[in-house]
Amino acid sequence: MPEEPPNDTARSTGGADTPSSDALTPKRLAENTPGLETVVELLNHPALTRVYVYVCYWGPTTPPDVQDDLDLSKSTAYEYIDQLVNLGLITRDDSTRPQQLTAEPVAVVDEHAPIVITPTVLHAFALQEIDADVAYFLDRYGIGKLVAALRGAGLHFAGQTTQRMVADDIDVRETEAMMISYALVPALAVGRDHDPYFEYLFPDVHDAMELPDLDERETTPSPPDDG
């Protein structure tokens, strides 16, 4: 398991407190640069992110599982796996056949802005590959507002806020707030069970959400058929 972010970096809004001078030393910032760069790479490539989240949640897994369960061609699956290995996000064990793939969950707390990136956020971002509503929302509003919508959806399904309040909070139409809240249910449902940093996004309501039931194929990345 990766080292957990310090408890004092997370707050109930799912963001980061004002950083201390120690947090902003050149040495610490330089040490954190590789992790930030890899997350930026993922946030520029949703298809790649989808593969990472799949391996992160369901590993150890294999390239054929990735190919079949994410409906990718063999060449595309191996291309994405190679990229993720080169980024240091996936570990590939070549001593077995088929190869075994594993991935550690990443968590980045931005030291300058109230935002947290965890596998749940990456999953929400990757849903644009298969969900037109998420693609529309991202195209119209961007990743920052998607994270805000994810947080709002979690609060809504925990009974802490209404969809109208979510719409007002993130400055979108109420119909859009309803649309994105339900589109993000797969990220919330799978993240709650498999993202070790889920509580950093929802420290106040992580165990209080009543999420709609979803067909397994809708909760991408769903577990391998033999999982």
Higher pLDDT, 40 or 152: 152
Higher pLDDT, 92 or 225: 92
Identify the residue whose tokens are 């033999």.
226
Average pLDDT over all residues of the chain: 82
Count of residues making up the chain: 227
Q: Which pLDDT value is given to residue 106? A: 85
* pLDDT tens sequence across 64-73: 999 999 999 9
With cut-offs at 50, 70 and 90, classify the pLDDT of residue 213: confident
Is the pLDDT at 216 greater than 80? The verdict is no
For residues 195-216, average pLDDT: 84
Most confident of the ranges 98-107, 119-128, 206-215: 119-128
C-alpha angle 31/36/41, rounded to 5°?
A: 140
What are the DSSP E strand ranges found in the chain?
91-93, 100-102, 108-109, 116-117
Percent of the chain scored above 90 by pLDDT?
58
Identify the residue whose tokens are 């947290």.
116
Least confident of 11-25, 125-139, 170-184: 11-25
Higher pLDDT, 33 or 120: 120
* pLDDT tens sequence across 134-152: 999 999 999 989 999 999 9
Is the pLDDT at 103 greater than 90? The verdict is yes
Q: Cα–Cα distance between 104 and 152 in angstroms, integer? A: 26
